[in-house]
Chain A
């Protein structure tokens, strides 16, 4: 048998040659082709590889970030930013009839779709009534149960008439705020909207055309025939992939990305300090509170003194400073003072809201013992004779909530409640049980931010109430609570078109809220925005709070995208 000369060495030698070639070839290929001027680069966190899906009715994909706002635009924007502002966008004017049941929208006349066709009232009517083509397209809720819309019709080429079943003062601020206008001539031809990816979008917005798309990044070019003269000023938008918050941090620190919406802990040192002239962060606290949610149908959470006592037993200052790094300010017992300052002006209400949110374990204990609770040694016993104890569930990866809850649990233990924190591994094991309050948990609010009506509606109205154990993700009534007086007051508010009258009802509702305290508001859930002014400026800041700062928060992002200007500006802003 002839032994073949198998040379291990020659194989190894070949491999080393290959490596050398690898290194040499790699250094040859450097950066890619330049685009038409530097794009505004945004990045998210935890994104999977990008799929070319620009369907505005699908949300949550990395490619969705600019679809609503960049490609498709709203009619009227109501934002809580800067004390509350309204932008008449595609609807350049709107008027209510005298009886308050008919809304007439005047559609802007010079708006064109990116394929050249004009945007007319027909497109607006189509977008508002698209629910009859498919349920997922019913953004305004025209075909949902309990809708206030009676009919939507066109009057001429640029007027839309919406007839309501009854007066609805919340319609523009709440219902219209999430609407976006899509081209009828494109969308009506789609057979199954849920499976359609809209790969070459036709839109009216400032950034519609897809310049370059691959699994790691995509570019949206500016719309040359955009209806606002001179806008947008920036040549293009780019969104690049980041697998995690740390990966995104690398990108913004190196200057590769300009804008994120991730929570960066210790942002002063981790980001701003790297380049204080250009690197900034705006943790916008014009937002709803994060609250401790109990299932108020269960005993003893159903007892109002219990909820009041829990509220007074928690040290919100400590939670905000140690758990939330000081970024999330503590709230009073209502929690909407930051978001709607002009609606929370009653002195008596403010004082009581403050009292119920002030850390006072002694008063909490007294309130409990005055209402049938007893103490067996250190342990709290409810009036029925059972010890009070529960676990508060939270996703283990949400480190700030975990830290906050550990402080809260300790506070509750100090008043005798056997409270502890239970970690859940991921979203799937936490979320469905959280939104049905099958366990005690922290949760946000899902009400729109157009007016405070939604906050009280979600938490107290008969129509949002779901029995104990049912998933309230659609209605936002996580505490399974409703109140008949509140329901009447909210119904009155809805049909009252006079702001002064509404504010009186709101004050009454706030008094009722403080009496019943269905949820325990603790701290604001800020909107995290980090941005660099090295290449672009005029982002929203507290001094220039023209819209909410998050780039994928519709409809505010439409305004921001048209207002950002190219050019670097050195500003020395610490964390705002």
Chain B
């Protein structure tokens, strides 16, 4: 328990650091939120409303606030959960924008990463157990090769060949454009259908990494005494591989999974970009390019919280999985 409390304290400090950086970084960029809104107007539209620049400035109240007092206001807003209005999604409040995009990211990343992790570690386990066998010789290099390509490249290939040419998967968006979000079977089915290709791409790109890390740890674990003991006891080969060696070998990759998961929630920008998938990564990219301070800040905060939360959850899981940690 003391272990967890100590970790909580550490995370609190990390969170405060993230909040402060969130405030500083967007303000180091040139431009202001108005520029982001103006970028979307064509010269003809600017000509039709020559006063639009000044009007926008007044309407949105974006005269540059001083740095330090703005920080105090910002801290107060964070505590209250008031993140303001998003200029690139005018006039939606930021919390609404995040509420609309975060579930999709968590769904996509959550399921895809779990599958990638499960598949990767399973294959890595088998690859290490039967080193030089079929799995090790074929699957390992294949997955490594696929994972070596940048994610957006694989996404583009997948979209073009599997989506456009073959027509096996829908090519864009999170759900069919004819439907409206709602808790009904048709909508949820459409969400799942549209998530299949992005998930396939994520699994293909990331499974290789898990496979390799699991395989490497597994190779060391196989040399341990208790594995030899289990084999000597006459237990089935499969049981030794999974219950004895696999269970211990999975702990290091599991830690890696936590930190990768948290970062991936907002980090899969390229995949979301190619698939027009309304997730956090894409929204953050658009907010950053559009100088949408409120949205960008709030998203960065959400990401920081995700990473920290994922790590904390993994710490908890560690306590459950590894008895040695409990007594520390």
Binding site for B on A (CB under 8 A): 1, 6-9, 11-12, 15-16, 18-19, 22-23, 25-35, 46, 48-49, 51, 53, 58-61, 135-136, 138-139, 144, 177-178, 194-195, 197, 212-217, 238, 240-244, 246-247, 250-251, 253-254, 288, 426-429, 431-432, 444-449, 471, 473-476, 525, 552-554
Contact = CB atoms under 8 A, between A and B. Distances in A.
Contacts of B290: 48
A428 B40 contact: no
Interface of B: 29-32, 35-55, 58-60, 88-92, 97, 100-101, 111, 114-115, 118, 121-122, 159, 164, 171-181, 185-193, 195-196, 199, 242-243, 246-247, 250, 272-274, 276, 278, 282-283, 286, 289-291, 321, 323
Contact of B49 (A49, A139, A240, A254): A139
B196 A29 contact: no
A243 B273 contact: yes
Contacts of B171: 250, 254
B186 A32 contact: yes
Contacts of B321: 6
A48 B89 contact: yes
A59 B49 contact: yes
Q: Which of B41, B59, B188 lies at the interface centre, i.e. has the most chain A CB atoms within 10 A of its CB? A: B59
B192 A29 contact: yes
Given A32-B176, A59-B41, A139 B118 contact: no
B191 to A, nearest CB: 8
8 contacts: A8-B242, A48-B89, A60-B38, A60-B41, A135-B51, A177-B48, A429-B30, A553-B42
B193 A32 contact: no
Contact of B55 (A29, A136, A475): A136
A214 B53 contact: no
A139 B49 CA distance: 6
A474 B29 contact: no
Contact of B50 (A11, A12, A15, A446): A446
B274 A247 contact: yes
Given A58-B90, A431-B39, A29 B51 contact: no
B175 A427 contact: no
A525 B43 CA distance: 10
Contact of A29 (B58, B159, B186, B199): B186
B220 to A, nearest CB: 17
A471 B273 CA distance: 34
Nearest to B117: A15
Nearest to A23: B196
B235 to A, nearest CB: 14
A560 to B, nearest CB: 14
Given A16-B118, A214-B181, A216-B174, A139 B48 contact: yes
A79 to B, nearest CB: 11
Q: Which of B178, B181, B190 lies at the interface centre, i.e. has the most chain A CB atoms within 10 A of its CB? A: B178
A446 B47 contact: yes
A34 B90 CA distance: 30
A195 B90 CA distance: 8
A244 B122 CA distance: 37
A9 B241 CA distance: 10
B178 A212 contact: yes
Nearest to B177: A217
Contact of A8 (B176, B178, B246): B246
